[in-house]
Copies of this chain bind each other. A is one copy, B any other.
Amino acid sequence: MGSMSNHNSDQLFIGIDGGGTKCRARLVSINEKLLGTGIGGPSNPLHGQAQTKASILQAVEMALTEAGLPNSEASNLIVGIGLAGVNLPSLFDVMNNWHHPFKQMHLTTDLHIACLGAHNRDQGAVMIAGTGSCGYSYVKNKATIIGAHGFPFGDKGSGAWMGLEAVKAVLLASDNLGPYSLLSDLIGNHLQAKGVMIVDRMGAAKASDYAQLARFVLDAADAKDEVAEKIVREGANYMSAVAEKLWETEPSRMSLIGGLSERLTPWLKPSVAASLSAPINQPEFGAIYYAKQQEKLLVC
């Protein structure tokens, strides 16, 4: 780990937020001036370590290009990275032992950088509802993680979970073993497939592919489709229960973030919905915050 004496005023930092669908990078000066942003592919190491590394490098290169810097500049960067999946010790070790091209890499979970970003301080709680789902609080130097188990066995309330539940319901309906509803039409139209052909389309689907279906589940639920309402309500009830567990750790603020946050909030328990604060910054800011913290550039 470096110390302040290693850093001169032109030291650059990059914050990276890696999730199941994509990877975002934010390149800044030591004074947090934005120099460039980048985006890469899926970066959950649980679903592919090589892909994750490639996605990170892709996002970094794009951010450097936007800043008018050559890719070789990567070797001078101090990088903060938050990744889905690295709450698993084995995945943390694999990613942390990566022979990366950077000057320094500080790895933590996507949850941790989301929390640092949302509250712009090292204390608070977040729930994420995007491709995956989970809850996280960091209070009095203690992290609490709820969920974050990944697809297909965890991530209730997430986009991938909603998509999978929707495919199940649509297939049951196609066998006349469950109700045929608007949801079947919306999913069928999107996939341009019915019945067994849906299986054909989704046969090799990843979490991110299932998550593409979530908006149709929410559309149908908003239109009072009972099959879709049941799915969304079950997911939202889970997220409400996660929020209540997180409040037990006494964070000062809590935010719901991720691609589904706006659409899921109205389905949460009213007391939970009312208890949420808007996130201040995005997770990639939190990743920069983390890198600076680790480099002893911030006093916590």
Interface residue ranges, A against B (CB under 8 Å): 46, 87-91, 145-150, 152-154, 156, 164, 167-168, 171, 175-177, 196-197, 199-200, 202-203, 238, 241-242, 245
Instruction: Check if A153 sits within 8 Å of B177, measured CB to CB.
Output: no
Instruction: Check if B149 sits within 8 Å of A152, measured CB to CB.
Output: no
Task: Tell me, rounded to whole Å, the shortest Cβ–Cβ distance linking A12 to chain B.
Answer: 34
Identical copies in the complex:
2
Q: A88-B200, A90-B200, A196-B87 are in contact. Are A152 and B175 (CB under 8 A)?
A: no
Instruction: Check if A88 sits within 8 Å of B199, measured CB to CB.
Output: yes
Chain B residues with CB below 8 A from A145, complex form: 196
A114 to B176, CA, bound (A): 23
Instruction: Check if A203 sits within 8 Å of B150, measured CB to CB.
Output: yes
Instruction: Check if A168 sits within 8 Å of B196, measured CB to CB.
Output: no
A238 to B171, CA, bound (A): 13
Chain B residues with CB below 8 A from A87, complex form: 196
Closest to A161 in B: B168
Closest to A87 in B: B196
Instruction: Check if A177 sits within 8 Å of B238, measured CB to CB.
Output: yes
Chain B residues with CB below 8 A from A238, complex form: 177
A147 to B195, CA, bound (A): 10
Chain B residues with CB below 8 A from A199, complex form: 88, 149-150, 153-154
Task: Tell me, rounded to whole Å, the shortest Cβ–Cβ distance linking A147 to chain B.
Answer: 6
A156 to B178, CA, bound (A): 13
Give 8 closest A-B pairs by Cβ, nearest first.
Answer: A153-B167, A152-B152, A88-B200, A149-B199, A149-B171, A146-B175, A153-B168, A46-B203
